[in-house]
Amino acid sequence: MLPSESLWLRAKLEIDFPSDVEHLYDLCINEVGFPVGYYHPEILTNLFAISPNREIVDELRLPYIYLSAYYFCLDSIVDKDIVKSENAVYLTHLLTGSIHQFTRYFDQNYPDKANLLKSLLHEYISKNAAAVLSELEFRRNPFKTLELEEFESIVGRSNSFLLLLDLLSHALDAPVAPVTRTLIDRFLYFMQLGDDLGDWRLDFHNKRWTSFLRGCFSELGRIPNEAELERLVYLNGSYEQRAIRILKGFNEIIRNLAEQHYDSDKNFLTFVVAQRDRLYTVLRDFVEVKQSCISWNES
């Protein structure tokens, strides 16, 4: 039995794309059969203390799911991951469906702001396209860290979430402070760096050259085999150095949020602290395993 959220999505797809429901439904659900990003509107309103309006949240949910699914599938195609290339043709439906739903909502509910909101939507979609192209550039330059470019790429590839935050803040008249908005970008960046650190082996297999891997390649002067890369990651301190850098980034964000004293940032601050503490635990466990391996080899 499908969850009610998935049944809701299928019913919406039957209205919007009656000829392609099955293909699009498969692209819009995650690995456990749940619509991609379904509860992101609630997560955002909770994180940033935005008083939710059920009607507005529900109106933005469907185009957000379409756009999130489009981004996810596009990323997967670029990463040569889980989405079959023949499904690429259906991405146009997701993108145009999202734009149509968003713009119709803007025109009907915010005629005075409609042009501004449409420009915002197109700006975010363009940034995502640039971010995806950056991934291809990283593959062509495996020995350059390109950290500024990677920051822009990570934020660009996260931008359905950021777009939704901006749209909710406009629609609910709850603007996010500019300094907080900057810290959100930095948080997404460091959180992705943390994920990349944990996924270094999978990324290496998929030839997804993250800045962590490119730094390792640069140190070696070549693209190594997996055993050589493993020695560098585990024995030469590369893992710990990257983890400490990410932790410093989280701590700077935490300090800046705490200094602002905005009530609207309290839940976000708590969330950042939790992510920082999770990485502390991962790093501590990593060091303990490493010390055990070194002791075993020496004995």
Q: Which residues contact 217 (CB under 8 A, 6 or more apart)?
A: 142, 143, 209, 223, 224
pLDDT grade for 137, boundaries at 50, 70 and 90 = confident
What is the tens place of the pLDDT at every residue in 42-60?
999 888 888 878 888 899 9
Mean pLDDT of the chain: 88
Return the DSSP state at 82: S
What's the burial of 86, exposed, middle or buried (CB within 10 Å: 0-12/13-18/19+)? exposed
- Classify each residue of 54-73 as buried b or exposed e, where b means 16 or more C-beta atoms within 10 Å of its C-beta: eebbebbbbbbbbbbbbbbb
How confident is the model at residue 78, as a pLDDT? 72
How confident is the model at residue 84, as a pLDDT? 58
Q: How many helices (H) and strands (E) does the chain have?
A: 14, 0
How confident is the model at residue 177, as a pLDDT? 87
What is the tens place of the pLDDT at every residue in 146-196?
877 889 888 888 889 999 999 988 888 888 888 999 999 999 999 999 999
How confident is the model at residue 234, as a pLDDT? 84
Q: In this structure, which amino acid lies at residue 123?
A: E
pLDDT grade for 86, boundaries at 50, 70 and 90 = low
Tell me the mean pLDDT in the region 57-71.
Answer: 94
Q: In this structure, which amino acid lies at residue 184?
A: I
What is the tens place of the pLDDT at every residue in 94-128?
999 999 999 999 999 999 989 999 999 999 999 99
Instruction: Tell me what percent of the residues of the chain surpass a pLDDT of 90.
Output: 53
Provide the whole-model pTM. Answer: 0.87
Task: Report the range of poorest mean pLDDT among 30-34, 83-87, 156-160.
Answer: 83-87
Tokens of 141: 């330059």
Give the CA angle between residues 15, 16, 21 to the nearest 5°.
Answer: 85
How confident is the model at residue 90, as a pLDDT? 85
- Of the candidates 191, 207, 203, the one whose C-alpha atom is nearest the C-alpha of residue 246 is 191
How confident is the model at residue 5, as a pLDDT? 93
Residue 215 near residue 238 (C-beta atoms within 8 A)? yes
